[in-house]
Amino acid sequence: MEALLEPLEYEFFRHGLLAALLVGSLCGVIGVYVILRGMSYVGHGLSHAAFGGAVVGFTLNLNFYAGAGAMGLLAALLINRVTRSGEIKSDAAIGIVTTAIFALGVVIISRVRTFTQSFEAALFGNILGITGGDLLVIALVTAGTLCAIFLMYRPLLFSTFDSEAARVSGIRTDIVQLVFSLLLTLAVIASMNVVGVTMIAATLIAPAVTARMLTDSFSRMLVYSWILGAVTGVGGMYLSYFFNAASGATIVLFGALLFCLAALLRQIRERSLLRANLHRHGSLTHAHVHPSGHGEGYHGSGDSPDAIDAGAHPDPALFEAVQGHDGRRHAAP
C-alpha cells in the first residue's frame, strides 16, 4: 500500500495519474464504437491530422488545441465527405486526408527546425508534463463525451449495428455519424499529449477489444471497456513509475497485456465449455453443439455453430479425441 501511495507525493505524478485515468475512461468508451463501426484506423489517422494541425496552428500563433482541433475536425469532415459516395473506402480516404495533413506539419517542422523539440510531446506523449490547463481540457472533453454517449446510447447502438434499419426507424444516421466523428476528434486531441500521436490508436482499441473477449453483450462491453480503460491508464502509470519507463508506452503495453490475458481466459473458457459439452452427451465421440444454445452451448469467437457441427474443431487435440483411434470421425450414438 505504501508503495502505491509513495508516488502520489509528487504533483507531476498526481496530474499524470488523473490524466491517465480520464483519458483511459474516455478512450475505453469511445473505442467500443470505434472498433464496432470499423473505424480503428480513423483514430490513428485523426491523431496524425491533429498533429499537423497543431504545427500549422503554432505557425499562426494559435493555441495547441485550437490548431489540432480545427485540423482534426476538418479531417473528420473530409473523410465523411469522401466516403459518402461509397466509391472510396474509408481506409483509403483516411490514408490520403490525414497523412497529407500530417505531411504538411512535417514539412513545416523541417523548414523551421526549432519546432522539433516542442512537438516531441505530441508525437510520443509527455504525461508527466501535463499542466493544470491540459487537465481541465481533458476533464471537460471526457465529461462532455460521456454525457453525449449516454444520451445517444440507443441511436448510436442501432446505427452502428444496422445503419439501414436505423434509417428506416427514423434515426438520422448521417447526423449520428457526424456527431460521433466530432466526439472521436475531441477524444484524440485530448489524448495526444498524454499517450502521443503514435500510440493513440492502441489506447482507443485495446480496452474495447479486451472487453469484447469478456462478453457478448453490448451494454456490458461498454461498461467493461470503460473500466478497463481506466484500469489500464492507472496501472500503466504506476508501472511506468516503478520501472522508470516512458509513461505512454507503458500504458499501451499494459493494455496489450490485459488483452492477452483476456484472450487466454476466453480460450480456456471455450475449451472447458466444449469439453463439458462432449461429456454431457455421454461420449467424446459426439461433438454436437446446440445452435439454440441450450445450457452452456457454443460460445465461440466467430465460427458459426454449423462450422463446429461440420467438424471444424478449434483445438487439434480435442479433434483427435472426437475422432476414434482409427482416425475416422464416429457418428453420434
Among 110, 140, 304, 310, binds another protein (CB under 8 A): 304
Task: Decide: is 164 part of the binding site for another protein (CB under 8 A).
Answer: yes
Task: Decide: is 267 part of the binding site for another protein (CB under 8 A).
Answer: no
Q: Which residue, 137, 118, 132, 187, is CA-closest to 16?
A: 132
Task: Decide: is 153 part of the binding site for another protein (CB under 8 A).
Answer: yes
In whole angstroms, the minimum distance from the beta carbon of 216 to another protein comes to 4
Task: Decide: is 89 part of the binding site for another protein (CB under 8 A).
Answer: no
Give the end-to-end CA distance of the chain in Å, rounded to a whole number. Answer: 58
- Could you give the CA distance from residue 3 to residue 151 in angstroms, rounded to a whole number? 40
Report yes or no: 194 and 202 within 8 Å, Cβ to Cβ. Answer: no
Task: Decide: is 146 part of the binding site for another protein (CB under 8 A).
Answer: no
- Of residues 278-297, those binding another protein (CB under 8 A): 291-293, 297
Closer to another protein by Cβ: residue 93 or 289 = 289
Task: Decide: is 272 part of the binding site for another protein (CB under 8 A).
Answer: no
Closer to another protein by Cβ: residue 120 or 162 = 162
Report yes or no: 192 and 47 within 8 Å, Cβ to Cβ. Answer: yes
Total residues contacting another protein by CB under 8 A comes to 38
Task: Decide: is 216 part of the binding site for another protein (CB under 8 A).
Answer: yes
- Name the segment binding another protein (CB under 8 A); options: 66-74, 118-126, 247-255, 300-308: 300-308
Which H or E element spans position 45? helix 40-59
Report CA dihedral (306, 224, 140, 4) to the nearest 10 degrees: -150
In whole angstroms, the minimum distance from the beta carbon of 61 to another protein comes to 41
Among 1, 5, 168, 317, binds another protein (CB under 8 A): 168
Report yes or no: 76 and 181 within 8 Å, Cβ to Cβ. Answer: yes
In whole angstroms, the minimum distance from the beta carbon of 294 to another protein comes to 8
Among 165, 245, 276, 332, binds another protein (CB under 8 A): 165
Write the CB contacts of 188 (distance below 8 Å, at least 6 apart in sequence).
43, 46, 47, 50, 72, 200, 204
User: What are the distances in angstroms from CA 230 to CA 26, 222, 256?
Assistant: 8, 13, 14
Task: Decide: is 305 part of the binding site for another protein (CB under 8 A).
Answer: yes
Closer to another protein by Cβ: residue 116 or 219 = 219
Q: Which residue, 259, 264, 131, 268, is CA-closest to 203?
A: 259
Task: Decide: is 155 part of the binding site for another protein (CB under 8 A).
Answer: yes
Q: Which residue, 125, 115, 327, is CA-closest to 246?
A: 125
Binding site for another protein (CB under 8 A): 36, 85, 150-155, 157-158, 161-162, 164-171, 212, 215-219, 221, 291-293, 297-302, 304-305
